[in-house]
A and B are shown apart, each in its own frame.
Chain A
Amino acid sequence: MVLESIPPFAIVLIAAVLVPVLPRRLGHAIGVLATGSVAAISLVIDEGTHLSGFELFGTFDVVIYNVDQFSRLMGLIFGFIAAVAVLYSYASDADSIQTAFALSYVGVSLGTVYAGDWLTLIFFWELMAVTSTLLVWHYGGDAVRSGFRYAMLHGIGGSLFLAAIVWHYANVGAVAFTGNGITGTVPATLAAIGIGVNVGFVGLHAWLPDTYPSPHLAASVFLCVYTTKTGVYGMYRAFPDGHIWIAYMGGAMAVFGAFAALLQSDMRRLLSYHIQSQVGYMIAGVGLAGGAIGHGGHDKYYDVLAAAGTFGHVFNHILYKGLLFMTVGVIIYRTGQESLDNIGGLGRKMPITAITFTIAALSIAGFPGFNGFVSKGMIIGAAHKKHLDILWYLLLLGGVGTFLSFIKLGYFAFIEGSYDGVVKDANIGQSVSMVSVAGLCVLFGLRPTLLFELLPFQGQYEYTTYTASHITEGLVLAGAGAIGFAVLRGPLHHIGRVPDIDSLYNRGFFYGGRVLIVAVTELYAFVDRVAVGLVRNSYWVGANPTLAVARTARYLPQSVRPSWDDEQPQADGGAPPRLYLRAGIGTSVLLLATVLTIVLLVVL
Chain B
Amino acid sequence: MTEEALPALLIAVPILGATLPLALGLVRQRIGWWVATLVLAVEAAMASWIAYAVYIGGDRITHILGGETFGRKEVTVGSFDTEGFIVGIELVADALSGLLVALIAFVSLGVLAYARRAGPRQNTFYSAYLLLTGGLMGLVLTGDLFNMFVFLEIVGLMTYALVASDRSAASAVAALKYLVIGTTGASMYLVGVGYLFVRTGTLNMVDTSRVLAGEPEWLEVTGALYTEPLVVASFGFIAVGLATKTAIFPLHTWQPGAYSEAPDSVTVLISALVSTTSAYALARITWVVFTPEFFAVNVKATEAILVLAALSVVIGSVLAAMQQRVKRVFAYSSVAQFGLIAMAIGISVHPAATDTATRFAVYGVVIHLIGHAVIKGGLFATVGAIKKSTGARSIDEYAGLATERPVLSGTLAVLGFSLIGVPPMIGFVGKWYIGLAAVKAELWPLVFVIFASTLLTLLYVARLLEKLYFTPLSETTDTAQEPAVATDGRGSVSFGMVALAVTAAVLAVGLGFMGAELTDAIDPLVDAIQESSPEVHQ
Contacts and interface: CB of A to CB of B under 8 A. Distances in A.
Contacts of A599: 236, 239-240, 304, 308
Nearest to B321: A542
B251 interface: yes
B322 A602 contact: no
Contact of A602 (B180, B300, B459): B300
A604 interface: yes
B236 A538 contact: no
B257 interface: yes
A603 interface: yes
A542 B324 CA distance: 8
Interface in B289-326: 298, 300-301, 303-304, 308, 319, 321-324
A527 interface: no
A595 B251 contact: yes
A330 B229 CA distance: 103
B253 A588 contact: yes
B338 interface: no
Interface in B161-209: 176-177, 180-181, 184-185, 188
Interface residues of A, number: 25
Interface string A575-595: 000110111110111011001
B301 A591 contact: no
A118 B194 CA distance: 74
A596 B184 CA distance: 11
A556 interface: no
Contacts of B239: 599
Contact of B176 (A539, A585, A589, A596): A585
A600 interface: yes
A603 B235 contact: yes
Nearest to A541: B322
B177 to A, nearest CB: 5
Contacts of A591: 250-251, 253
Given A599-B240, A600-B236, A602-B300, A592 B181 contact: yes
Interface in B134-183: 176-177, 180-181
A583 B253 contact: yes
A582 B237 CA distance: 25
B42 interface: no
A451 to B, nearest CB: 64
Nearest to A576: B324
A588 B244 CA distance: 10
A604 B229 contact: yes
B184 A592 contact: yes
Contacts of B321: 538, 542
Contact of A588 (B240, B254, B460): B254
Nearest to B250: A591
A602 B324 CA distance: 37
Given A604-B232, A604-B233, A545 B184 contact: no
A585 B304 contact: no
B322 A582 contact: no
A598 to B, nearest CB: 8
A595 B251 CA distance: 8
B184 A589 contact: yes
B244 A592 contact: yes
Contacts of B319: 581
B405 interface: no
B253 A602 contact: no
Given A591-B251, A592-B244, A545 B322 contact: yes
A583 B250 CA distance: 10
B137 to A, nearest CB: 27
A99 B319 CA distance: 70
A2 to B, nearest CB: 49
Contacts of B244: 592
Given A539-B463, A545-B322, A588-B181, A603 B253 contact: no
Chain A binding surface SS class = helix
Interface residues of B, number: 37
B240 A595 contact: yes
Contacts of A584: 177
A542 B322 contact: yes
A587 B254 CA distance: 11
Nearest to B248: A595
Contacts of B304: 599, 602-603
B322 A596 contact: no
Interface string B446-479: 0000000000000110010000000000000000
A579 B253 CA distance: 15
Contacts of A587: 253
B2 to A, nearest CB: 43
A589 B254 CA distance: 10
A588 B322 CA distance: 20
Interface in A528-584: 535, 538-539, 541-542, 545, 578-579, 581-584
Contact of A600 (B180, B233, B323, B463): B233
A585 B240 contact: no
Contacts of A602: 300, 303-304
A591 B311 CA distance: 15
B173 to A, nearest CB: 9
A585 B177 contact: yes
A604 B300 CA distance: 8
Nearest to B478: A575
A592 B177 CA distance: 13
Given A542-B321, A592-B184, A603 B298 contact: yes
Contacts of A595: 240, 243, 250-251, 308
Nearest to B256: A582
B185 A592 contact: yes
Contacts of B322: 541-542, 545, 579
Interface in A454-479: none
A603 B240 CA distance: 12
A602 B302 CA distance: 11
Contact of A603 (B176, B233, B251, B324): B233
A533 to B, nearest CB: 14
Interface string A437-454: 000000000000000000
Contact of B240 (A535, A538, A541, A592): A592
A581 B252 CA distance: 13
Interface in B217-267: 229, 232-233, 235-237, 239-240, 243-244, 250-251, 253-254, 256-257
B181 A603 contact: no
Contacts of B236: 596, 599-600, 603-604
Contacts of B300: 602-603
**Which 7 A/B pairs are nearest by Cβ-Cβ distance?**
A588-B253, A583-B253, A596-B240, A600-B236, A599-B236, A603-B236, A588-B181
Interface of B: 176-177, 180-181, 184-185, 188, 229, 232-233, 235-237, 239-240, 243-244, 250-251, 253-254, 256-257, 298, 300-301, 303-304, 308, 319, 321-324, 459-460, 463
21 contacts: A541-B322, A542-B321, A542-B463, A578-B324, A583-B253, A585-B180, A589-B184, A591-B250, A591-B253, A592-B185, A592-B244, A595-B251, A596-B236, A599-B308, A602-B300, A602-B303, A602-B304, A603-B233, A603-B300, A604-B232, A604-B236
Given A589-B184, A602-B304, 14 more contacts: A535-B459, A541-B322, A542-B321, A578-B324, A579-B322, A581-B319, A582-B257, A583-B253, A585-B177, A592-B251, A595-B251, A596-B240, A603-B301, A603-B304
